[in-house]
Amino acid sequence: MKNYRYVARSTAIAARALGDETMVMSATDSTLFTLNEVASVIWAAADGVTPLDEIVAKKICTQFDIAPEVALKDAETLVEGLAGHGLLLLSDQPLVQPPSSRGEAL
Amino acid sequence: MPGVTAVMQSSSVVVAIGGLPIRLRCDNPDFVRMIEERYAGFVSSSDSAGFDFEIELAPPGTLSRDEDVRVTWNSGRWLMERGDFRAEWNPSTARGHIRQTITPYSLDSVLRIVHTLLLAREGGFLLHASSAIRNGRAFLFSGVSGAGKTTMARLAPPDAALLTDEISYVTRREGRYVAVGTPFFGELARVGENLHAPIEALYLLAKGPENKIEPITGTDAVRGLLENILFFARDPEFVKLVFDTACDFAARVPVRRLTFVPNASVWELIV
């Protein structure tokens, strides 16, 4: 049983949408990830205040031919995997993003 | 005191790579002469410099290369460490200190790191790539060790000016990506020419049974580029800068796969 409802992009990442895909780089260990079209939609919608099941219902099931229960299960697998790499934050409460840690480094 | 002035002049040298002059001071004139010879073509005739590094030579045998590079940001300074050197650099004062062995390889590594940090802020980077200028345009040939960087440099025709066979210097000037010659060399053991030109294309190298060029776009282009950018600092702000630059570069400069037979015929495609 999952213990989260909200997903938010970490601030310790760099990301860029390129066509239908999204590249995400961990700013802590430089690991690079490429998200496919469906994962990119979830990534873009992970604002910390929209529940994951709502993202799936409104953004995935309306754009892609996939059953809601299957889509939600796949989405949970995805966000838990990305959270495991520190790219997403998961919470049972809405998430507010902290400001960037430092402005000038060089 | 003319004598003192003469000593001071003999213990420093300004090395300008990519137009960024860095003064290197050391109380060992033999080592300064070694630097002048190692970076021939990149030693500035002007005494002015944007950055100043004091080099302290460690006694032989006290440092070893058997460690990975670590670059960290701490209390307003960059710390750069490997077995054979320990350096720190304060960007706000433009001053730094290097403790290293007497070989030029340690200094070479420190300079590469410093330039990656400086370039990141300006939208540039150092790339594992050979590069050359032909017909006023620069071509980059990138890949891991053994991919063919030095081979491409060695096969370059007489009308191509070699910028480097190992580490390419990419910077932005007037809204364009430009390749600049560097003294950082690989197997060819030859300092690059101190020239620059707008980048026409980046080729990701692969050896194969025939010469062919295929376009690489989107995430594949960015990934191919990022895999070859020199990336020392595990600092979140730095990582974001480099990532954004790689995405921008891949959107503006053609990235292609160059499969090639290692003979001079491959350069017939590079025009």
Q: What is the pLDDT of residue B8?
A: 45
Q: What is the pLDDT of residue B237?
A: 87
**Mean residue pLDDT across chain B:** 92
Q: What is the pLDDT of residue B257?
A: 97
The minimum CA-CA distance between B243 and chain A, rounded to whole Å, is 7
Q: Beta partners for B257?
A: B204, B214
Q: What is the pLDDT of residue B59?
A: 86
B97-122 confidence digits (pLDDT tens): 999 988 888 999 999 999 999 999 99
Architecture of domain A6-91: Alpha-Beta Complex (3.90)
The minimum CA-CA distance between A1 and chain B, rounded to whole Å, is 33
- In B, minimum Cα distance to A20 occurs at B218
Task: Specify the fold of B125-269.
Answer: Rossmann fold (3.40.50)
- Cβ <8 Å between B243 and A14: yes
Nearest CB neighbour to A101, from listed B223, B234, B236: B236
Q: Cβ-count burial of B192 within 10 angstroms (0-12 exposed, 13-18 middle, 19+ buried)?
A: buried
Provide the pLDDT confidence category of residue B7 given band limits of 50, 70 and 90.
Answer: very low
Q: Cβ-count burial of B244 within 10 angstroms (0-12 exposed, 13-18 middle, 19+ buried)?
A: middle
- Kindly state the tokens that stand for B8: 């001071």
- Tell me the H-state helices in B71-226: 104-122, 149-154, 218-226
Taking one residue from A and the other from B, the number of pairs with CB-CB distance under 8 angstroms is 55
**Whether complex ipTM tops 0.95:** no
Q: Which residues of chain A have pLDDT under 70?
A: 1, 97-106
Integer Cα distance of B34 and B22 in angstroms: 16
Largest CA-CA distance found in chain B, in angstroms, rounded? 68
- Cβ <8 Å between B247 and A18: yes
Report which DSSP code applies to B81.
E
Integer Cα distance of B85 and B112 in angstroms: 13
The minimum CA-CA distance between A20 and chain B, rounded to whole Å, is 9
Give chain A positions within 8 Å (CB) of B235: 105
Alpha carbon B72 to its chain centroid, in Å, reads 19
The minimum CA-CA distance between A39 and chain B, rounded to whole Å, is 14
- In B, minimum Cα distance to A17 occurs at B219
Element of type H or E holding B70: strand B70-74
Structural domain boundaries in chain B: 7-122, 125-269
Evaluate if residue B21 carries a pLDDT over 90: yes
Q: What is the pLDDT of residue B65?
A: 67
A6 vs B4, higher pLDDT: A6
Evaluate if residue B192 carries a pLDDT over 60: yes
Q: In a mutagenesis test of the A interface, which of B240, B248, B249 is the best target, namely the one with the most A β-carbons within 10 Å?
A: B240
Structural domain boundaries in chain A: 6-91
Integer Cα distance of B239 and B250 in angstroms: 17
A79-102 confidence digits (pLDDT tens): 999 999 999 999 999 997 655 444
Evaluate if residue B1 carries a pLDDT over 80: no
Evaluate if residue B223 carries a pLDDT over 70: yes
- Cβ <8 Å between B222 and A16: yes
Evaluate if residue B60 carries a pLDDT over 90: no
